[in-house]
Chain A
Amino acid sequence: MSLHTLTIKELRNKLTAKEISPKDIVESLVKRIDSVDGKIKGYLRVNAKDAFAQAEKADISKPLGGIPIAIKDNIAVSDEGCTCSSKLLENYVSPYDATVIRKLKEAGAVLLGRTNLDEFAMGSSTENSAFGRTHNPWNLDCIPGGSSGGSAAVVAADEAIAALGTDTGGSIRQPAALCGCVGLKPTYGRVSRYGAVAFASSLDQIGPFTKTVEDSALVMNVISGYDQMENTSRPVDVPDFTKSLNAGIKGLRIGIPKEYFIDGMDKEVQTAVKKAIDWYAANGAEIIDVSLPNTEHAISVYYIVATAEASANLARFDGVRYGRRSPDGTDSINSYSKTREQGFGSEVKRRIILGTYVLSSGYYDAYYNRAQKVRQLLRRDFTEAFKKCDVILTPTSPTAAFKAGEKSDPLSMYLADIFTIAVNLAEVCGISIPCGFTSTNLPIGLQLIGSHFDEPRLLLAAHGYEQGHDWFKKKPSL
């Protein structure tokens, strides 16, 4: 039996029925990784020996007991590397666990390996990795999306049962869409950011990649909750996210924002999403027109706010306490400048410089301050919209996966994030689920957006659609 193809739910049933042991799952996955990751390159490191040791000790009475999970390489795991796909952190070893890692360990999960990303999570294609690009399992010439491209690819290619990623402007949902798996960005404050290497603090969230919506709920049950180590995590009750999954979509009010069905959207994506709307309508959901007028400003706001925060967040990478220090520095100042020149890739430098610029003397009001105000307007749009509907439906990405190297201009790459970015700016939750395939057999993602801390209804809506279709059962041929 190919255990690596199963879901958390299926494996947990087999584990508790004592049909299999955690070691069997690790063995199946390690074989799978051996046979396909040479093509996908989703993993930066797999520690099979350690995974077997963890499996040996795994307590299957725990909620994720014996389930192997892959971790994006920008989340701290004690005694492991955390490269952020940057040369600068190539040899760094974390002395502590991120809160989500502590929770996964306590829940009995097996940490299988570390996945590739755009350096410091800056990118939408996983091409900006100092350790090589990751390939889309559906078409190896295509990018898997990003920045959590490695996590999306290994779940889609059955190299992991589930994975964690981080999402600042779509970094979970967009690769999930492009690789054909389920990716959830929780409400800001739902999951502790402690231990996730910060890109943009007011936007970052950790979330799961899974094969099904139900699995997403199972992982969320473990990683959610207030954390006293994280000031912006919210003391909100964590429900059992699996409870409401089957409540049914009948009567669910689904908002369709007219601004999200833009010109230039890929026709096949448009058709797939329209079909999804029709399906919801046909199955008893109420389709409601809503308006999110400030969405058109989302990209401008995002690239000002996110880069400003990043310029400060990434200042700590100076080669003093950790990191690869340039040998060319002769004093503290040029040691910094050369360490950062040699350690960071182009996209990271570009964003730090942009962020520094928008905060610098004389420009703060015109850029940063103004962007924050427009962000407030955007947030109001969502508040207004959620008065009329329960969830909002949009495409996840305007196109399916594109060819590697195709988008060399940063602005055109940034524009591809249009549908996901507003969700982070408004701090609400969003999920991407498969909703079809292009004529060239590339997955298309459907994005559902829920109000603040309304993951239960978001998951219900996603689960309803997923179970009404076969998309999630389709596997790439590798």
Chain B
Amino acid sequence: MAYVAGLSRIDLSKEEEALFQSQLGKVLEYAQELQKVDVSSVPDTPIDPNLPTNVLREDSLRDSLTAREALLNAPKQANNLFIMPKIVE
């Protein structure tokens, strides 16, 4: 749970962690039923054959926002940059 919360970038309190563990455990247990479904008739391709293809955009310019509009909601900004706490790996 701590690993997944970390991947999700969500801090959890100990209580929340325990609660989610049991709640999600139940949901996942319920979802185990999928293991019993016979899916052999579904082709093993990652592309859904029902989807249309090649809906593409021509390479022509559209209006961009101004820097002022872009930064309108920035929690912090300076010199037209979004400012945030120091980036770490």
Among B12, B37, B72, chain A packs the most CB atoms within 10 A around the CB of B37
- Cα distance A154–B74 when bound, in Å? 33
Q: Determine the residue in chain A with the shortest Cβ distance to B77.
A: A321
Among A91, A92, A322, A324, chain B packs the most CB atoms within 10 A around the CB of A322
- Cα distance A363–B36 when bound, in Å? 16
- Cα distance A300–B28 when bound, in Å? 8
* Contact present for A329 and B24 (CB under 8 Å): no
* Contact present for A320 and B27 (CB under 8 Å): no
* Contact present for B69 and A331 (CB under 8 Å): no
CB distance from B32 to the nearest CB of A (A): 8
* Contact present for B20 and A311 (CB under 8 Å): no
Given A303-B31, A410-B23, the answer on whether A340 and B85 have CB atoms closer than 8 Å is no
CB distance from B33 to the nearest CB of A (A): 6
* Contact present for A367 and B8 (CB under 8 Å): no
- Neighbouring A residues of B65 by C-beta, 8 Å: 95
* Contact present for B11 and A337 (CB under 8 Å): yes
- Cα distance A91–B37 when bound, in Å? 46
Out of A231, A300, A334, A356, name the residue touching B30 (CB < 8 Å). A300
* Contact present for A411 and B23 (CB under 8 Å): yes
Per DSSP, chain A at the interface is: helix
- Neighbouring B residues of A329 by C-beta, 8 Å: 85
**Residue A137 at the B interface, CB < 8 A?**
no
Q: Which of A329-377 contact B (CB under 8 A)?
A: 329-338, 340-341, 344, 346, 349-350, 352-354, 356-357, 360, 366-367, 370-374, 376-377
- Cα distance A409–B20 when bound, in Å? 11
> Using a Cβ cutoff of 8 Å, how many contacts connect chains A and B?
144
Given A324-B75, A340-B9, the answer on whether A414 and B16 have CB atoms closer than 8 Å is no
- Neighbouring B residues of A315 by C-beta, 8 Å: 9
* Contact present for A338 and B11 (CB under 8 Å): yes
Out of B6, B42, B75, name the residue touching A319 (CB < 8 Å). B75
* Contact present for A353 and B10 (CB under 8 Å): yes
**Residue A274 at the B interface, CB < 8 A?**
no
**Residue B61 at the A interface, CB < 8 A?**
no
Q: Which of B51-76 contact A (CB under 8 A)?
A: 52, 55, 57, 65, 69-70, 72-76
**Residue A234 at the B interface, CB < 8 A?**
yes
- Cα distance A329–B88 when bound, in Å? 12
Q: Determine the residue in chain B with the shortest Cβ distance to A346.
A: B16
- Neighbouring A residues of B12 by C-beta, 8 Å: 341, 349
- Neighbouring A residues of B8 by C-beta, 8 Å: 311, 340, 349, 352-353, 356
Out of B16, B23, B41, B70, name the residue touching A377 (CB < 8 Å). B41
- Neighbouring B residues of A320 by C-beta, 8 Å: 75, 82, 84
* Contact present for A330 and B39 (CB under 8 Å): no
Out of B24, B57, B85, name the residue touching A353 (CB < 8 Å). B24
**Residue B35 at the A interface, CB < 8 A?**
yes
- Cα distance A334–B5 when bound, in Å? 12
* Contact present for A300 and B33 (CB under 8 Å): yes
**Residue B50 at the A interface, CB < 8 A?**
yes
Out of B10, B57, B69, name the residue touching A340 (CB < 8 Å). B10
* Contact present for A95 and B69 (CB under 8 Å): yes
- Cα distance A311–B6 when bound, in Å? 13
- Cα distance A320–B84 when bound, in Å? 6
**Residue B78 at the A interface, CB < 8 A?**
no
- Neighbouring B residues of A91 by C-beta, 8 Å: 73
**Residue B14 at the A interface, CB < 8 A?**
no
- Cα distance A352–B6 when bound, in Å? 11
- Cα distance A350–B26 when bound, in Å? 12
Q: Determine the residue in chain B with the shortest Cβ distance to A92.
A: B73
* Contact present for B85 and A335 (CB under 8 Å): yes
- Neighbouring B residues of A333 by C-beta, 8 Å: 9, 88
- Cα distance A352–B11 when bound, in Å? 12
- Neighbouring B residues of A373 by C-beta, 8 Å: 37, 39, 42
Q: Determine the residue in chain B with the shortest Cβ distance to A321.
A: B82
Given A300-B30, A337-B10, the answer on whether A356 and B86 have CB atoms closer than 8 Å is no
**Residue A323 at the B interface, CB < 8 A?**
yes
* Contact present for B5 and A331 (CB under 8 Å): no
**Residue A228 at the B interface, CB < 8 A?**
yes
Out of A296, A322, A338, name the residue touching B73 (CB < 8 Å). A322
* Contact present for B10 and A332 (CB under 8 Å): no
Residues of A within 8 A of B (CB): 91-93, 95, 228, 231, 234-235, 294, 296-297, 299-301, 303-304, 311, 315, 318-325, 329-338, 340-341, 344, 346, 349-350, 352-354, 356-357, 360, 366-367, 370-374, 376-377, 379, 409-411, 414
Listed by A's residue number, 30 A-B pairs whose Cβ atoms lie within 8 Å are A93-B72, A95-B65, A231-B55, A234-B52, A300-B34, A303-B27, A320-B82, A321-B82, A330-B85, A332-B85, A332-B87, A333-B9, A334-B11, A337-B6, A337-B9, A337-B10, A340-B11, A341-B11, A349-B16, A352-B8, A353-B1, A353-B20, A356-B4, A366-B35, A367-B34, A370-B35, A374-B37, A377-B42, A410-B26, A411-B27
A sample of 12 more A-B contacts (CB under 8 A), given A344-B10, A377-B37, A411-B23, is A300-B30, A303-B31, A304-B34, A319-B75, A331-B86, A332-B84, A337-B9, A352-B8, A352-B10, A353-B5, A353-B8, A376-B39
